[in-house]
Amino acid sequence: MADPPVLFSELFGSDPEDGDSTIRDPPLHPIFAWGLRPVGPTPAFPAACLAQLLAGGSRCAFSDDASDTVRLRPLPGLLVVKGMLCPCLQAALLDACVGLGYFATTENNQVMHFGPLPTPLHWVEDIYRALLPALADPPWLGRTPLFDQLIGNLYRPGQGIRPHVDLARFEDGIGIVSLGGPCQMVFAPASPTESLPYLDGSSSSPVPAQSTTAVYLEPGDVLTLAGEARYQWTHAIPEAVSDRVDGEDRARGLRISLTLRRVHEWARTG
């Protein structure tokens, strides 16, 4: 097992592999440090869940949770598949992040990867290809590789991301996988000057609240952003410790998102 990340001790108060020699329970697998609970046996790699998902069947091979995924289309070009990834697949993705050394220190809340998706995260491409029939006009889903750039973001309660349109250097067709904890994502009409704040240093301007569309993201939800939603709307996560949903305040938790994109040919260097 990879060394537990610093976040492990942040969540549990102490590093379970540290300290005295008292016999104790085996160390928690890192996936459980993120607040996930096992559903039946937790396989090292839930290939069976993935196979079922790709075959369009029940989404989890290890539980009798036969709940259907829910597809939302709150904006043209925005598809939100709620509950697409079963807990096993969520756990496998988080475990992959830990294994790849992502978020290993408390300062480290963002990771960027350029090139084909690293093993074992590469199977996220399969998940997106499984969405093909659900997308009305998905020419981008046929490209290979589907994604060659990954950003992992880690948010603690109270943290968020300012309104932005992802940079033009990325092709149309962006994927976001939401893991760990819930949050509200807010979409608003973009002004022509808005761009991703943390990549090019520019800042974005606030948008009028009345024109926003909010989507409540929960662990296992999968998004695609294309066309209008990708270019003509900003997306943001407000800095909040809870979100107001259906008249109640829902607490945020530690959240990890994987944003998947492909760099335009003209923007590649070297």
Residues that bind ligand AKG (CB under 6 A): 151, 153, 161, 166, 176, 178, 196, 235, 237, 257, 259
CB of 156 to Fe ion, least distance (A): 18
Which residues are CB-neighbours of 268 under 8 A, at least 6 positions away?
A: none
Nearer to ligand AKG, 39 or 236 (CB): 236
Sole residue written with tokens 């995924």: 69
Nearer to ligand AKG, 60 or 154 (CB): 154
| Residue 95, contacted partner among ligand AKG, Fe ion, none, CB below 5-8 A by kind | none
CB of 62 to ligand AKG, least distance (A): 26
Round to whole Å and give the CA distance between 77 and 54. 22
Measured from each CB, the residue nearest to ligand AKG is 257
Looking at residue 239, what DSSP letter applies?
-
Binders of Fe ion in range 160-179 (CB under 5 A) = 166
Tokens of 92: 């496998």
| Residue 257, contacted partner among ligand AKG, Fe ion, none, CB below 5-8 A by kind | ligand AKG
CB of 28 to ligand AKG, least distance (A): 25
Tokens of 77: 């070009």
CB of 207 to Fe ion, least distance (A): 15
CB of 123 to ligand AKG, least distance (A): 19
Distances in Å between the Cα of 129 and the Cα atoms of 80, 138, 266 are: 15, 10, 25
| Residue 154, contacted partner among Fe ion, ligand AKG, none, CB below 5-8 A by kind | none
Q: Any bridge partners for residue 233, and if so which?
A: 189
Helix ranges (DSSP H) in the chain? 6-12, 30-33, 47-54, 87-99, 124-129, 197-200, 227-231
Nearer to Fe ion, 90 or 204 (CB): 204
Sole residue written with tokens 């160390």: 27
| Residue 153, contacted partner among ligand AKG, Fe ion, none, CB below 5-8 A by kind | ligand AKG
Give yes or no for a contact between 270 and 263, defined as CB atoms under 8 angstroms apart.
no
Which residues form the interface with Fe ion (CB under 5 A)?
166
